[in-house]
Structure 1
């Protein structure tokens, strides 16, 4: 007869210290302190940085580079998988069309709010700063933007060569996220049309997506360290004077984000006969992670999980709508932010915008949100908007100081919207599991009765809801 004894695992740290949110807050505080120390050590942070400024900048830029490295494979595999999952959905074409329609409707509302707030707050007015000497005043070519959607090669890659100190030529390779999205959509649709012959490809793509999500989860776990570098570098480089001068702009952004999250979304939820309280309690775990991680793509596994388990969206449809939303549905980064930022830059340099330019802001925001790529920051989207309007690109540098602060709120709104649209569309099509949507949660990340209520609804094969779920999803849920 044998006996076994189990020994509880003893942690060296209190439970609260291992909480991801607490780690991010600690990173923010540490970054602020180190940034102030670095600034006090002297030296010009831009032309002659001291060792601490250089170190903080290296940590922050390295973390962002890690996130960007996962963008191309993650967008491609996620979009192909999301479109392929339409095979499991009844009336797939209508659901897909309605999803894209509601993406556009909510983005249009958000960008309209951004424009109104930019005109009301006047965040960049009264600076007396003249436009740069190279500013021509000509609007960008909107048709060039549309033509740029068509890929010039399979991977949507481009290369540029520039001279550096000493006359040496350096070639850098970059990618066009919009073109990658077009390629992924085309391949996903082709896989649907091919049918069973595409099964091996889709299985390989699904496996690749699971592996990439795992790697991305490792990167996200480094977010507290990355936050130290990003915040510390911003404080050391720009200081409190510059950051303070952007306070009005920051306030306008967060007022816009609050209006969308706590007014527009509840109105849409209520107008469809659903409980506002249940929506927020259901989506909140993903919103929290989006706020601290500043990455819609990084939050994707948890967003999809809460959309299915808390909001009652069928898994087959959620696996299409949520990944697609994580790459193209950006009410914070691609609607509110570029609208207010473009108006700020115009006001800062004393440039008057006409009605046509305001319409261009709307069009770029609704159609070009995929340019944000779902990673931290919305610099690409801002650059795209300023270029299309013909505004000075020097304005991008003005906003980098407060971008980490803004990006937290932007991403939280992005994530909330990525769960909202599938919920609304499911309700409108009569496929929402309202018993699961209204199930009690009692402060838990997921509904108390979610396992029982999900039953065999998870997919047409009758597999258990958590079967085959990547470990990263379970880890994110516990973060």
Structure 2
């Protein structure tokens, strides 16, 4: 009987995929299909949990099969991250789009990301204060105890890590290892290596133009193919989001969400305020924030569903270039840096709230100016090198708490509600990256405002039709 129910659950999921495919053939817009997949996935997943129970054999077996579509999609996207980062940066040099302004653009991008993560931390402190989260007691269950024990190795690594050592770790030592994302700082290392290679290309271009021309042609050919692969995989987005949301809704611990509702609401308030800050920044440079939010919404929906800033990179960069009018070089730089520097949600709001919550347990008043100033500086420094994948916020929290000599057990105590909050944090991370790209492009006068102000979502149209 159980086998019949498992087959039924999977068959209904496949029927939903068939409907999405039919909508694609009828040229229903990409953003509408993505939003429908998000909503239907949540409703179907909650219905399954209500009927069978969160921990039932039917749910676990069905989820494993449905995960082929969800996790398989995320895996394909992560496959593209390193090739996309490497060849996008290198292509910007071979096209002379970054050659003369790389230092200025890179500095602006890093300054924007660091500045917004500091603001995000301040917003997190404010929200924690409003909801009086300081000293909040959290029940420790079996899952939480297991999570705390699992952080032992990470803590050992963090205790051995100094700030100078962390800076050195960002430099490429074995580029082949970094291309496999072997380290948390692999993305930055690949960006640095691609930049060095690009600068070397500029030197060869002056002395041996024929060799440089051949190299540029090879890079452009490979980059064109990589971008085509990006388009093909992005077409799978509605199906991947449907699978991811079904599994999250069906297997989430709703009781834990209810018990920790105060922290969840405080987190979402902080995230919402920070979204408004992004829109305010867009308005301050003379652009329409409503146009901005409409064009990035499909990207945010995907980030929300996937919980992966790195996995969202292809759609992020493509949307910046083709829908927001950001220049190629700046979109590539902001996208690459944004998945490992200054993540507003995971490396800004979350660790700041954790620090406010645990400080009173060791006799520290978390709202003194000296503590807040130290916390903001620690958050900004700690945000460098946080991987843009699920679990990045946990690592950021461990870094900040251990650096400030605060108890780290709270990171494990919140593990049961991580998926729900992490979805919104990831969307905020991506919003911060895209805000950085648009503002940097505007400041350097490289923003195509005609594309930005147009009503057409060019990248979405290409994904839907190609």
TM-score (norm 1): 0.70
Aligned pair partner of 2:117 in 107, 125, 134: 107
For 1:387-415, what per-residue CA distance to the aligned partner results, in whole angstroms no more than 9, with x for missing partners?
A: 44455554334323332322332222222
Q: Distance in 1 between matches of 2:304 and 2:249?
A: 15
Query: 1:370/1:200 Cα in 2 relative to 1: closer, same or farther (>3 Å)?
Result: farther
The yes-or-no answer on 1:415 pairing with 2:430 is yes
Aligned pair partner of 1:257 in 258, 271, 279: 271
The yes-or-no answer on 1:395 pairing with 2:427 is no
Query: 1:388/1:105 Cα in 2 relative to 1: closer, same or farther (>3 Å)?
Result: same
Gaps in structure 2 of 5+ consecutive residues: 1-20, 203-211
Aligned pair partner of 1:434 in 449, 459, 464: 449
Q: Distance in 1 between matches of 2:189 and 2:431?
A: 25
Query: 1:29/1:191 Cα in 2 relative to 1: closer, same or farther (>3 Å)?
Result: same
Aligned pair partner of 1:217 in 215, 228, 234: 234
For 1:295-345, what per-residue CA distance to the aligned partner results, in whole angstroms no more than 9, with x for missing partners?
A: 333433333343234433223432333343344352122211232244445
2:34 touches 2:298 (CA, 8 Å); kept in 1? Answer: no
Aligned pair partner of 1:96 in 103, 106, 117: 106
SS state of the match for residue 122, structure 1? coil
> How far apart are residue 420 of structure 1 and its match?
1.3
Aligned pair partner of 1:300 in 284, 309, 313: 313
Aligned pair partner of 1:359 in 348, 356, 374: 374
SS state of the match for residue 127, structure 1? coil
Query: 1:126/1:437 Cα in 2 relative to 1: closer, same or farther (>3 Å)?
Result: closer
Q: Between Structure 1 and Structure 2, how many residues are aligned?
A: 415
Q: Distance in 2 between matches of 1:394 and 1:371?
A: 19
Q: Distance in 2 between matches of 1:175 and 1:67?
A: 21
> How far apart are residue 103 of structure 1 and its match?
1.5
2:170 touches 2:385 (CA, 8 Å); kept in 1? Answer: no
Gaps in structure 1 of 5+ consecutive residues: 1-8, 158-172, 447-465, 467-471
1:78 aligns with: 84
Aligned pair partner of 1:32 in 18, 21, 46: 46
The yes-or-no answer on 1:474 pairing with 2:459 is no
The yes-or-no answer on 1:313 pairing with 2:335 is no
1:457 aligns with: none
Q: Distance in 2 between matches of 1:445 and 1:218?
A: 15
* Aligned positions of 1:260-275 closer than 5 A: 260-262=274-276, 264-275=277-288
1:118 aligns with: 128
SS state of the match for residue 250, structure 1? helix
The yes-or-no answer on 1:127 pairing with 2:129 is no
SS state of the match for residue 176, structure 1? coil
Query: 1:92/1:150 Cα in 2 relative to 1: closer, same or farther (>3 Å)?
Result: closer
1:331 touches 1:413 (CA, 8 Å); kept in 2? Answer: yes
2:247 aligns with: 229
The yes-or-no answer on 1:335 pairing with 2:331 is no
2:184 aligns with: 177
Q: Distance in 1 between matches of 2:408 and 2:465?
A: 41
2:3 aligns with: none
1:4 aligns with: none
Q: Distance in 2 between matches of 1:199 and 1:307?
A: 23
SS state of the match for residue 53, structure 2? helix
Q: Distance in 2 between matches of 1:56 and 1:122?
A: 41
SS state of the match for residue 312, structure 2? helix
**Which structure: greater helix fraction?**
2
> How far apart are residue 259 of structure 1 and its match?
0.9
Q: CA RMSD in A?
A: 4.3
